[in-house]
Each structure stands twice: as C-alpha cells, then as structure tokens.
Amino acid sequence: SAVISQKPSRDICQRGTSLTIQCQVDSQVTMMFWYRQQPGQSLTLIATANQGSEATYESGFVIDKFPISRPNLTFSTLTVSNMSPEDSSIYLCSVEETATEAFFGQGTRLTVV
C-alpha cells in the first residue's frame, strides 16, 4: 500500500492569503487527486494532478483559485489562493492506479479567519 505524507496537517490563515499544501508519496504513482471535505460533508474531487501537464479540474473548481503542481510521480502541491472563510475545509491528497485501491493522506485541516 502507498504511504502518503501531507503537510501541513492543519493551519489557520487570514482571509486574502494563500496556502500551499504538499503531498509526498513513498512510491511512483500514475494518478494523484485532490479532494475537499467541507464541514459536515463528504468528499468532493477538486482535480486530477497530471505529471508534466496541467491539472484536470472538476466542475466548480478553477486553476486560478486552486493551482496544482505535479513535478514528478511522487509529489504534488495544491494551493488555495485568496482564501475566504468558505474555503475552511479538510483538503486531502489521494493516489490510485486504475482498478486498484485508493489511498489517502491524513488531510490538511484549514481554517480561514
């Protein structure tokens, strides 16, 4: 199974600022994803992080607000830009190979004040 390290585990940020979340995997993986879990809600996919190309965003999420990098097969970052209190959520990194098990990081709990 893949081991995923996500940093930071939590942060409290001022509105209007940006936060970059890092996701490191202990092995090379084809597919990496970023999810958001708003308070009391289930997980929603933000985007697929593609190695060497632009991320693929789901409806309702845009690159200007959630820029994503994936420089290699073991690392990705998600930036939450120009934050507002509505961005307060848990952000989770996930990896999987097609038709196999998905694994998740421990999440980043973000509070915007």
Partner 1 sequence: KQEVTQIPAALSVPEGENLVLNCSFTDSAIYNLQWFRQDPGKGLTSLLLIQSSQREQTSGRLNASLDKSSGRSTLYIAASQPGDSATYLCAAPTGGGADGLTFGKGTHLIIQP
Q: Which residues are at the interface with partner 1 (CB under 8 A)?
A: 1, 6, 31, 33, 35, 41-45, 48, 56, 58, 90, 92, 94, 98-107, 109
* Phi, psi (deg, nearest 5) at residue 64: -65, -35
Q: Which of 31, 33, 10, 25 is nearest to 74 (CA)?
A: 25
Q: Minimum CB separation from partner 1 for residue 16, in Å? A: 25
Q: Minimum CB separation from partner 1 for residue 72, in Å? A: 19
Ramachandran assignment for 46, one of left (phi > 0), alpha (psi -120 to 50 degrees), beta (any other): alpha
Q: Minimum CB separation from partner 1 for residue 6, in Å? A: 7
